[in-house]
Amino acid sequence: MVKKTIIDSKTFLYGVIGDPVSHSLSPAMHNSAFAHIGYNGAYLAFNVKDVGAAIAGVRGLGIKGLSVTIPHKLTVMEHLDEIDDKAVKIGAVNTVINKYGKLYGYNSDCLGATNALLEKTSIKDKDVVLVGAGGAARAIGFGIISEGGNLTILNILQDEGEKLAEDLGVEYYHLSEQKKVECQILINATPVGMTPNTEAMPVERAFLNKDMAVMDIVYNPLKTRLLKEAEDIGCITVDGVSMFVYQGVSQFESWTGEKAPVDVMRNVVMDALAK
């Protein structure tokens, strides 16, 4: 039974910072989870351009935790007190916890991505192409290597792509050179295809083949054009909801110390996307 949440002076405040952030389903997911377990928390979306000012606000207002999304997962690290070893290795933070005024950075994208993929396919010894080199791509790339995958980076910005490839010890190709690489798993870790630009694709249709597993971290729309094209060819597909929910579960449990209601969180996201 869902418990009624009363907002009062003892309510813990959480939120997501990003730019843009209006599309985010994190508030719906986390607020439903808070209500379900009777936790006195509220979660809001903040469109942020100045990360330093936002983090100062977290300190000043005593906000208990943050989700961090595009494009702030790297920049936010400069403003925190301590960063978890795994997040340091990844080079990106998507979760902030306020512990008695000290701000700690973590990364739950890595676990979210690998768990989502492993539901559908193995990773070990597979050739994996990762499109993108931002904060989410860093986490996913780290996860793929940790699971024994053979990774290649495709990215449109050469300096960014080369830096991530160097950090992970893998190869990089410019997005225009996609014909030079082959893979068994393709992952889109860019916002390409996200609402409202739903007709865009991160790679050409000709890059896909029926023996691939194709994952898209974009979850709005649930079925991106990339996933539609992959499905039509006969690929195994992994949508962005699984990664989104798994990383949110990790955040929720880190913030509250309570077991996350995973099914509730997944159902809320699916219902929101259906609308």
Our answer to whether residue 163 is catalytic in this structure is no
Handedness of CA 122, 113, 28, 227 (dihedral sign): negative
CB-based contacts of 154: which residues, under 8 Å, 6+ apart?
A: 129, 130, 131, 132, 161, 172, 173, 174, 175, 177, 178, 181, 203
Locate all alpha helices (DSSP H) within 72-224, ordered by sequence. 85-90, 109-118, 135-146, 158-168
Closest residue by Cα to residue 96 from 33, 11, 15, 42: 15
Cα separation, 211 vs 121, whole angstroms: 12
Candidate list 3, 4, 10, 73, residue with the active-site label: 73
Helix axes 135-146, 109-118, angle to 10 degrees: 50
Cα separation, 195 vs 224, whole angstroms: 9
DSSP letter, residue 203: S
Centroid of chain to Cα 222? 14
Cα distances (Å, whole numbers) of residue 55 to 11, 22, 90, 130: 19, 19, 21, 30
Residue 159 and residue 167 in contact, taking contact as beta carbons nearer than 8 Å: no
Which sequence positions are flagged as catalytic? 73
